[in-house]
């Protein structure tokens, strides 16, 4: 089925999920929407995030997609359940795939969770983990400095190393053997996070795990594209298409992308 897969995020961070989807499913067309004009969502009140997430979902649904991925952890935490029930296409978020993968890896049932203030406050990861295994011990930690750090482009600097160490100091004192990166931006800090916590902690990127689920869902529904059905990927942004394009082109290395600025709602 030649329809596109819709992927939405508060900004450019969800491109980490889009890249993984396009890598695993090269025949698929992606329509990506980044609400860069209103990014970040992480520090915003729940009601605001819910409203914005609905607006994004309705926009992409109108572009005739076959499946919707909420790539933003903060948006997934507050709005996935209600959006899922409202649409007649599969809608998936990034939290369940990340939680399932963590449960698979942990040996001592002790799992750390990193996310924005909104994601951590919602307790969505803790709920997902406890649903899967009620005895799981969780250590949730909001990391409000990480998104600005990655967006400054300094995610490999000595300053980044220092911020990672300061932020994760308390977590290093625990006996977690698995850590969920519950935010689109954190995979860019993964090398520093792994270095600081050491090889005893398995680090899991929720976005990567989500991409793995997409092919399973489309295969089950017999809706995967055949080789000739791939169309040009489209990128929609609520902010500057020029700045969006700079990050998206470098990250996706997609020769044929079209970028269009849109207004929500």
Contact region with ligand I24 (CB under 6 A), list: 75-83, 169-177, 220-228, 245-253: 245-253
Residue 148 CA to residue 165 CA, distance in Å, equals 16
What residues between 131 and 160 interact with ligand DGL by CB under 6 A? 147
Binding residue (CB under 6 A) for ligand I24 from 1, 159, 219, 243: 243
Binding residue (CB under 6 A) for ligand I24 from 58, 251, 261, 264: 251
What residues between 150 and 189 interact with ligand I24 by CB under 6 A? 150-151, 153, 185, 188
What residues between 168 and 187 interact with ligand DGL by CB under 6 A? 183-185
10 vs 22 by CB, closer to ligand DGL: 10
Binding residue (CB under 6 A) for ligand I24 from 217, 247, 257, 264: 247
28 vs 35 by CB, closer to ligand I24: 35
57-71: burial string, b at 16+ Cβ within 10 Å, e else:
bebbbeeebbbbbbb
Crossing angle of the two packed helices 73-86 and 95-105, in degrees rounded to 10: 120
What residues between 36 and 55 interact with ligand I24 by CB under 6 A? 36
The answer to whether the CB of 193 falls within 8 A of the CB of 143 is no
Could you give the residue ranges of the DSSP H alpha helices within 87-204? 95-105, 117-122, 124-132, 146-151, 158-172, 190-197
Which residue in the block uniquely carries the two structure tokens 């050491």?
198
Measuring CA to CA, how many Å separate 198 from each of 19, 84, 183, 193, 203? 27, 38, 20, 8, 10
Residues found near ligand DGL in the complex (CB under 6 A): 9-11, 13, 39-42, 72-74, 116, 119, 147, 183-185
């Amino acid at each position: 089925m030649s329809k596109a897969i819709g992927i939405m995020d508060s900004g450019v961070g969800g491109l980490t999920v889009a890249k993984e989807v396009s890598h695993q499913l090269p025949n698929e067309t992606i329509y990506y929407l980044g609400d860069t004009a209103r990014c970040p969502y992480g520090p915003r009140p729940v009601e605001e995030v819910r409203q914005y997430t609905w607006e994004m979902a309705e926009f992409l649904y109108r572009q005739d997609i076959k499946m919707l991925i909420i790539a933003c952890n903060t948006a997934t935490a507050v709005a996935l359940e209600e959006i899922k029930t409202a649409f007649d296409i599969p809608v998936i978020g990034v939290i369940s795939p990340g939680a399932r993968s963590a449960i698979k890896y942990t040996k001592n049932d002790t799992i750390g969770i990193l996310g924005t203030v909104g994601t951590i406050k919602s307790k969505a990861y803790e709920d997902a983990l406890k649903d899967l295994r009620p005895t799981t011990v969780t250590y949730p930690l909001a990391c409000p400095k990480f998104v600005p750090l990655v967006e400054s482009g300094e995610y490999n600097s000595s300053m980044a190393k220092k911020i990672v160490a300061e932020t994760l100091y308390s977590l290093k004192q625990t006996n977690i053997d698995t850590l969920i990166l519950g935010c689109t931006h954190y995979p860019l800090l993964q090398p520093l996070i792994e270095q600081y916590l050491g090889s005893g902690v398995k680090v899991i990127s929720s976005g990567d795990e989500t991409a793995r689920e997409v092919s399973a869902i489309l295969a089950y529904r017999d809706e995967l594209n055949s080789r000739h059905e791939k169309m040009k990927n489209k990128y929609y942004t609520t902010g500057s298409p020029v700045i969006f394009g700079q990050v998206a082109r470098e990250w996706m290395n997609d020769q044929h992308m079209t970028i269009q600025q849109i207004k929500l709602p």
